Every structure is written in structure tokens, then in C-alpha cells.
Amino acid sequence: MITPPLTNMTKTRKLAGLVLKQRRCTFCNWVGFRFLPFGNEMVHRDDAQCPVCGSLERHRGAYLLLKNKISPKHRVLHVAPEPLLVPWLISLSSEYLSVDLYNQAMRRMDIMNIELPDSSRTLIWCSHVLEHVADDRKVLSEFFRVLEPGGILVLQVPVSGAKTMEDSSLTTDAQRLKAFLQEDHVRLYGLDLAKRIEAAGFECEVLSTANLPLSDQTLYSLNTPFFREVFFCRKPA
């Protein structure tokens, strides 16, 4: 069977289809028209999750912001490991350990009491965990202890505005959902988290997908508030 040549109209339609495919995943290289919807009643997004690998804005943003800032051969501690990130972090590792208190990981561990020696890690990755933890200052202290001088801490949390909101009187699921965006969150961070990090002894640089080229923000769907910032921290040498 001989395939007929493309007409000008067919060519135009094909080109239009390619132009409209304006989303791409940094992890699996999927290309399509839109990402899938994701979120809850407080933070619902229509264009957020990769239909192939499941990446979200925070994953794609972290990769773009950090891919040239973290060299390989780290002794990595990965807190509450998201499966999507594991291969990338292993590729940066000479030694890799994942920990979680409740879910699947290599070791069961409470990050308020990390059962590792002082200065035993060179990279700690902790994404969307601190907002669940009762004493985040204790966690930051433990991260500082476990990192060797010059070591890197990568933190991601939902961020809203300038100031962190905490209220211990909010104890029901409904109250926490409304105030902190999710039923199991105990605070909603602001950009002042950087001061809390620095008080634990770290140097802290706040990176944001808002500073990426607008074309990248659109292509990877990184325009959603709450998921823009990456706190890139270093223990002084």
C-alpha cells in the first residue's frame, strides 16, 4: 500500500499539534499537551502530575534548579524517599541510605533522633517532610550534626508568603487542612524558614523556579505557588 503524500492542510495540522505539545517532564522526557490534575480542595492544580512517571512541580523544579549545583560522589541521606527521586540521588551517590519512620525505606528512623554518627553524610535530601514534624528545630539540629563540614542540605516544603504560621490549638483534620493545606501538616512555612535554618548553623540560599526562564516555567508547568522554593543549605566548612 502506498501512503499518499501529506497535503498542506495535513502538514499544518501536524505542526499545530507539535506546537500545542507544550509540556515536558524532566525525569522521563514525556512530552504532551498538559500534565494531569493533582491536589486536594485547598491546592488543586489542573496541570501538575506527569502521566508517565508521576513527577510533580516540586520534583521538576528541584531538578532544574539543582542539576548543576550538586556534583556526584556524595554520601547521601534521603529522608522519606519518593521513588521518582531515588535513581537520580543514587546517581549522585558513592553511598546511599533512605530512611522513613512509617513508610518504605532502607532503614526505619526518626529524624528528630538520627541514628548515624556525626559528620557521616555529605548530602541530605528532605522534601516535604518538615511540615509534618512536631519539632522541626530538633530535626535541623540533627541534620547539622550528621553532615560533615561543607555538606549540603536540600529542603523543600510548601511555602506561603513571608512568615511561617503555626498554631498548636489546631488539632482536627478540618482545622489543619484549612490552615496548613493538608490534614497531617502541623505548620505552613513562609520564606522565614531560611532564618530558622540559619539559626541551626547552616548557610542558606533560597532558590525559586520563579527565577527560571518563563519558557521553562511553562514547559515544565512550574507556575504554581507553594511549590516554587528550594532551600539549598550548607554546613560551614
Residue-averaged pLDDT of the chain: 93
pLDDT at 219: 97
Q: How many domains does the chain have?
A: 1
173 found inside a domain: yes
State residue 20's pLDDT score.
Answer: 62
Spatial separation of the C-alpha atoms in residues 134 and 32, rounded to whole Å: 40
For residue 155, what pLDDT is reported? 98
- CA–CA distance, 112 with 93 (Å, rounded to integer): 24
Question: Is the pLDDT higher at 1 or at 158?
Answer: 158
Residue 9 lies in a domain: no
Please report, for the domain that includes residue 151, its CATH number.
3.40.50.150
CA 158, distance to chain mean position in Å, is 9
Convert the pLDDT of each residue in 196-209 to its tens digit: 999 999 999 999 99
pLDDT attached to residue 8: 52
pLDDT per residue as tens digits for the range 167-197: 999 999 999 999 999 999 999 999 999 999 9
User: What integer is the mean pLDDT of 138-164?
Assistant: 98
pLDDT for 5 equals 46
Residue 188 counted as domain residue: yes
Q: Is the pLDDT of residue 47 over 80?
A: yes
Q: What is the DSSP string of 48-91?
A: EE-TTT---HHHHHHHHHHTTT--S-EEEEEES--GGGHHHHHH
Proportion of the chain above pLDDT 90, given as a percent: 91
Which pLDDT belongs to residue 170? 96
CA atoms within 13 Å, Cβ hemisphere of 219: 14
Q: Looking at the domain assignment, is residue 14 inside a domain?
A: no
Q: Which three cell numbers stand for residue 14?
A: 501536524
Q: How high is the pLDDT of residue 215? A: 95
**What confidence score (pLDDT) does residue 39 get?**
96
Q: What does the pLDDT read at residue 10? A: 47
- Print the domain residue range for 176: 24-234
Q: Decide if 164 contacts 136 (C-beta within 8 A).
A: no
Average pLDDT over residues 82-110: 97
1: in domain: no
